[in-house]
Structure 1
Amino acid sequence: MSFFSLDWSVPENISFLTTTRNGGVSKSPFDQFNLAFHVNDDSKHVIANRALLHNQLPAKAIWLAQIHSNKVIEITADSDLNLIEAADALYTKEKNIPLAIMTADCLPIFLTDIDGTQVGAIHAGWRGLSAGIIESTLACFSGEMSNITACFGPAIGPDHFEVGEDVVAAFSQMNIPYLQAFKATKRGKYLANIFLLAQLILNKFGITCIANQQLCTFSQSDLFYSYRRENLTGRMASIIWITQ
């Protein structure tokens, strides 16, 4: 298995990683390190790939059934860690509990505070962003919003994310300068910048410390899965946890 190293300055007790598509046992079109059961990959291969991943973590990751919603699950000392809930973000103050988000074009977002006492992981597609998944996750955090730092993982880039008028309209209800994130095309569509949309939402809450390498899943087929590019494909994982 292989990881992609994201450039994000965080407290020493915060660990995070993003997997690539390489180094696992899944066969084409899921080659190689698919971590999702719901894409019709051979379940034995997914189990083997997750075992490889969990060997690199302090405990088994917490997974979600992602539904493009604004629902957040808070993991506490009393949580059933084997329960897979329908939601699109995870939050915890507990130590050594890896929070996992799966993506293949949607934007994975990591959050932590500057003291390293709380972390969040968000699956942010356009539906989740427009529904308020960032806002719902931030509501879990205690302390000043300006003390939160964020990191964007790989997602579909602004040159490849073509959307319709309905997507533009979905963001028109939000109190952000959303139009700058959309570029009209000659086909009557728009190119959307999902990185910028997420940044604008975070900025609204005073969060300006954002690591954003704008890694494009669509254009980097050697590293990342892309649903838009391949349709039938696997999923990467972005995982964050507090070590101590």
Structure 2
Amino acid sequence: MLAITTTRLPANSPPKSSNAEYSLVNIASTKNNPPEFNAFNLGDHVGDCADVVAQNRKSLLKYLPNKTKIQWLEQVHGNNVVVLEKHDNTPIVADAAITRHRHIALAIMTADCLPILLSNQNGSEIAAIHAGWRPLAANIIERTISTMHSPADEIFAWLGPCIGPAAFEVGEDVKQVFCQISSKFNAAFQPIARVNDDIEPLKYLANLQLIAELQLSVLGVKSVAELAECTFEHSDKYYSYRRDGKTGRMASVICLN
């Protein structure tokens, strides 16, 4: 099993990769794009040149096993989970995917949301999840794991970089969505001090990785690794929609090998 996540890298920087089970892959763009896209953008829905995105996606294939095809999703911040028996050239409308077939790589695009990659112990089944707060609130992790053939205690989870707990500001409504599910989620929301308590609405700093960890723990997943880097704060390394608005997308990819 091989899992990689791309990072935002300025053009003219040398590509590099790792053969580690989980690794970061930096790949330089081959053409000069507008500044919001000129660092290996993989999103074809953000206003970038379609030919450049296609070339970037093609470049990513060389880091994957031979004959592998990447299955892209049309992510809609829902909780639909698709099980893939074969590759589809058309992006599938879903926010999570599962496969037990070699040569199909599962890709999750992000620019602040949390990518989650899953594998069972013997490397015969993998999954990828787009875990923004809405999919997390809609139990996309539970829906994915319940659709897998593997017992939860035999699943390994990897949580990728996302907007961090010092930058992800949300309202009371978001906190209540989770805390109505379980009071355990209170720990994932830290209130922000207000200058005027009578006028300013209550805001919180939310921790997406902690929310996911709590959900995985309840489901019985015991092996969880994470890359606790904030996409908002690391402007030299990651795309961030919350920071920049119009921006590209990174990808976290997992496949059997």
TM above 0.5: yes
Match of 2:120 among 103, 113, 120: 113
Point out the more displaced range, 82-91 or 196-205.
Answer: 82-91
Q: Which letter maps to 2:190?
A: K
Match of 1:63 among 72, 89, 101: 72
Question: Quick check: 2:69–2:87 contact (8 Å CA) kept in 1?
Answer: no
Question: Quick check: 1:145–1:205 contact (8 Å CA) kept in 2?
Answer: yes
Q: Structure 1 pair 117/135, CA: closer, same or farther in 2 (3 Å)?
A: same
Q: Does 1:72 align with 2:81?
A: yes
Runs of 4+ off more than 3 Å:
none
Question: Quick check: 2:7–2:250 contact (8 Å CA) kept in 1?
Answer: yes
Aligned equivalents of 2:225, 2:175: Cα separation in 1: 25
Cα offsets for 1:130-159 (capped at 9, x unmatched): 011111110121232111110011100100
3-state SS in 1 of match to 2:35 = coil
Residue 175 (structure 1) shift = 3.7
Cα offsets for 1:68-121 (capped at 9, x unmatched): 011011111xx3522321110110111121100000000000101111110000
Q: Which letter maps to 1:64?
A: L
Q: Does 1:27 align with 2:34?
A: yes
Aligned equivalents of 1:145, 1:213: Cα separation in 2: 21
Structure 2: 5+ residue stretches without partners: 10-27, 195-201
Q: Does 1:193 align with 2:207?
A: yes
Match of 1:154 among 155, 161, 170: 161
Aligned equivalents of 1:184, 1:154: Cα separation in 2: 22
Q: Which letter maps to 1:183?
A: Q
Aligned equivalents of 2:105, 2:150: Cα separation in 1: 22
Q: Which letter maps to 2:4?
A: L
Q: Which letter maps to 2:252?
A: S
Equivalent pairs counted in the alignment come to 228
Aligned equivalents of 2:213, 2:189: Cα separation in 1: 14
Question: Quick check: 1:153–1:214 contact (8 Å CA) kept in 2?
Answer: yes
Residue 212 (structure 1) shift = 1.4
Q: Any residues of structure 2 matched to 1:1-244 within 5 Å, and which?
A: 14-22=1-9, 23-24=28-29, 25=31, 26-58=33-65, 59-76=68-85, 79-175=86-182, 177-187=184-194, 188-243=202-257
Question: Quick check: 1:184–1:191 contact (8 Å CA) kept in 2?
Answer: yes
Q: Which letter maps to 1:240?
A: I
TM-score by length of 2: 0.86
Question: Quick check: 1:176–1:200 contact (8 Å CA) kept in 2?
Answer: no
Q: Which letter maps to 2:120?
A: D
Aligned equivalents of 1:52, 1:143: Cα separation in 2: 32
Residue 223 (structure 1) shift = 0.8
Aligned equivalents of 1:197, 1:27: Cα separation in 2: 35
The CA RMSD over aligned residues, in Å, is 1.2
How many percent of aligned residue pairs carry the same amino acid? 45
Question: Quick check: 2:114–2:131 contact (8 Å CA) kept in 1?
Answer: yes
Question: Quick check: 2:69–2:103 contact (8 Å CA) kept in 1?
Answer: no
